[in-house]
Amino acid sequence: MDKEVGKAPRWYFGGISCSIAACCTHPLDMMKVHLQTHTSAQKLSIFGSLITVAKSRGVLSLYNGLSASVSRESVYSGFRFAVFDMLRPHPGQEAHSFLMKVLTAAGAGAAGGFVGAPLDLVNVRMLNDVKAGATTARRYKHVFDGLVRICREEHPQNLYNGATMVVIRAICITVGQLSFYHQVKETLLGFDWFEDTIPTHLLCSAVAVGQRKFLLNFTRKFKKRICILPSNCRRVRQQR
């Protein structure tokens, strides 16, 4: 019994691990935003952008907005892992069906996305400052300064600008990560040649990452369609 309790997952491990990952990938996230918002005809590569920013603004500038990124992952990821852990069946209880796993993960993702939406907004704005001009850069000192200034200079309601896509993305990530992970794990442990060991966990994680990637591609295409739709509508009106 003690052995089973020792293997019980802790929801806060998810928030901690995502925060550590954010520290490692923050420069790449900054370059991703930089490339996505690049409007010049000149083509840029992610490594070329990293070198350019490091030379012009210093290596430490690659970590501008790190406080927002870590805060976002701590709150957003920690919250959705906590909700999923609270709703899922625990040892000794009857396992959920796959549909219930998906619904539980979707609810946890929606809750985490809604709670983390303001932090995600500040994070994106701080990442975008690397390419913004002197007159357009917001220059938030840290995540809390960003939250306060949005409420003071704009409106508290603006903290949830883009929250719909944040919630949809969080639902897809959580469904791909958690529901598929637990379903694949239960299926594999039903065979005699699989045990509850690290290789089994790694295999389940690999499958979950693949499903997460598939679902995220769907949301990206959906987001692009939303962004393209207004210009298409205007073009149709002009033709009429």
Q: State both tokens at 159.
A: 């903290």
Q: Which CATH class is domain 2-171?
A: mainly alpha
- Both tokens of 26, joined, read 């923050």
Look at residue 42 in the predicted model and tell me its pLDDT.
Answer: 60
Residue 38 has pLDDT above 80, yes or no: no
Average pLDDT, stretch 39-48? Answer: 65
Say which residue, 31 or 102, is predicted with more confidence: 102
- Tokens 């490339």 locate to 35
Model pLDDT for residues 166-220, shown as the tens digit of each residue: 898 889 888 888 888 888 888 888 888 888 888 888 888 888 888 777 777 766 6
pTM to 2 decimal places: 0.72
Please answer whether residues 171 and 106 qualify as being in contact, where contact means their C-beta atoms are separated by less than 8 angstroms: yes
Secondary structure (3-state) at 119: helix
